[in-house]
Amino acid sequence: MSAPPIDAVVTWVDGADPAHAARLEAFLAQGGGDARPASANPTRFNDAGEIEYCIASLLRFAPWLRTIHVVTDRQVPPVVARLAGTPFAGRVRVVDHAEVFAGFEAYLPTFNSRAISAMLWRVPGLAEHFLYVNDDFVVVQPVQPEDFFRDGRVVLRGRWQRQSAHQPARRLLDALRRWRGAEPSRAARLRVRNRTGQENGARAAGFERDYLRLAHHPHPMRVSTLAAFFAEQPQRLLDNLRHRLRSADQFNAESLAAHLELARHDAIVDNRLRTLTLKPSEQWLPRLRRLTARADADASHAFACVQSLELAPAPARAHVLAWLDRRVGAPPSPPA
């Protein structure tokens, strides 16, 4: 019997698009005030061409993927247009938010990755088994379907941790701050942590004390798992969608999906493949060189995430792009 098809879903937006920027500014204006949330920082929507390498890496190192769905907001990434006329044209398609939010149009436009990811299982024609991939993510060596779905179970990567509310040291620190009357800084109030979204997803799946803190990598998910959960608890989906910008009250869909699979004993935790995280806007060039050299020498580094490339100094940006060109390469162009 042949293996079931596996798709990939890549979320992407070009914040430099004047139409998209206008929609965001119009939404922010409705709220009033002058405090721009960190979740509306332009860098969250900027595009530095990372999706070029993302798509190229999936085509090159995961050729078994059936279809790569690029979910976006009334935009088309240039890489998709360039694939026209190549053998890969039929394997990459653009899916608009309007298609994914069909029946939920009241929650559009949205500028919230957590709201969008909670709806990805509704991509029309999506395979039951799929990978959720951010556009700043690349695969840097060949991977196999068994690295994500094995023996009827999903393959997760992460470490078990105690949730924040059950960490004595954190509770004590919070209590001391309250006793002293200390108020969180403005930056802290506006920040929405990834950890919080992961913990919220775990609790929604019934994990109240501990949770699997997921590593940053392509997340294997199943359509039926999320469809069944939201059919039973539709209000949870609506509560996640109502936030047009990221909120600490939301769950991460990848965490929710992972913990639903764990609760049913339909998941394997396997950390043999790792992710190289590059932050060229923060890491000095010598450190970037050490990190990429270490990844080149270590076969366990199968993935890489490049964050805020557009903010990096020119030398750091050039080094990262040269490394991506060598490890991944550019997508093919149509014949002349």
Strand, helix or coil at 11?
A: strand
DSSP 220-235: EEEHHHHHHHHHH-HH
pLDDT of res. 192: 72
pLDDT of res. 30: 84
Q: Is residue 211 part of a domain?
A: yes
In the chain, the amino acid numbered 119 is M
Q: Are 289 and 316 in contact (CB under 8 A)?
A: no
pLDDT of res. 81: 85
Q: Give the tokens for residue 173.
A: 């620190």
pLDDT string in tens for the chain (336-residue length) = 568 999 999 999 998 899 998 999 998 888 644 444 544 455 444 456 889 999 999 999 999 999 999 999 999 999 998 898 888 999 999 999 999 999 999 999 999 999 999 999 999 999 999 999 999 999 999 999 999 999 999 999 999 999 999 876 666 666 666 666 655 443 444 457 899 999 999 999 999 999 999 988 999 999 999 999 999 999 999 999 999 999 999 999 999 999 999 999 999 999 999 999 999 999 999 999 999 999 999 999 999 999 989 899 999 999 999 999 999 997 766 665
DSSP 262-329: HHTT-EEE--SSEEEEE-TTTS-HHHHHHHHHHHHH-TTEEEEEE--GGGS-HHHHHHHHHHHHHHT-
Of the CA atoms within 13 Å of residue 303, those in its CB half-sphere come to 24
Q: Is residue 333 part of a domain?
A: no
Q: Is residue 1 part of a domain?
A: no
Q: Is residue 130 part of a domain?
A: yes
Which is nearest to 141 in space by CA: 328, 334, 288?
A: 328
Kind of pairing between the strands at 210-214 and 158-162: antiparallel
Q: Are 324 and 306 in contact (CB under 8 A)?
A: yes
User: Residue ranges of the alpha helices (H) in 32-77?
Assistant: 50-61
* pTM for the predicted model, two decimal places: 0.89
Cα–Cα distance measured from residue 50 to residue 138, given in angstroms and rounded to the nearest whole number: 8
- List the CATH number of the domain containing 212: 3.90.550
Q: Is residue 334 part of a domain?
A: no
pLDDT of res. 238: 98
pLDDT of res. 43: 47
Tell me the residue range of the domain where 108 lies.
Answer: 6-327
DSSP 149-170: EETTEEEE-EEEEE-GGG-HHH
Q: Are 163 and 206 in contact (CB under 8 A)?
A: no
Number of structural domains (the chain) is 1
Across 88-128, the runs of DSSP E, i.e. the strands, are 92-96
User: How long, in residues, is the chain?
Assistant: 336
Cα–Cα distance measured from residue 316 to residue 283, given in angstroms and rounded to the nearest whole number: 8
Task: Provide the greatest CA pair distance for the chain.
Answer: 71
Is the Cα dihedral 113, 222, 270, 163 positive or negative? positive
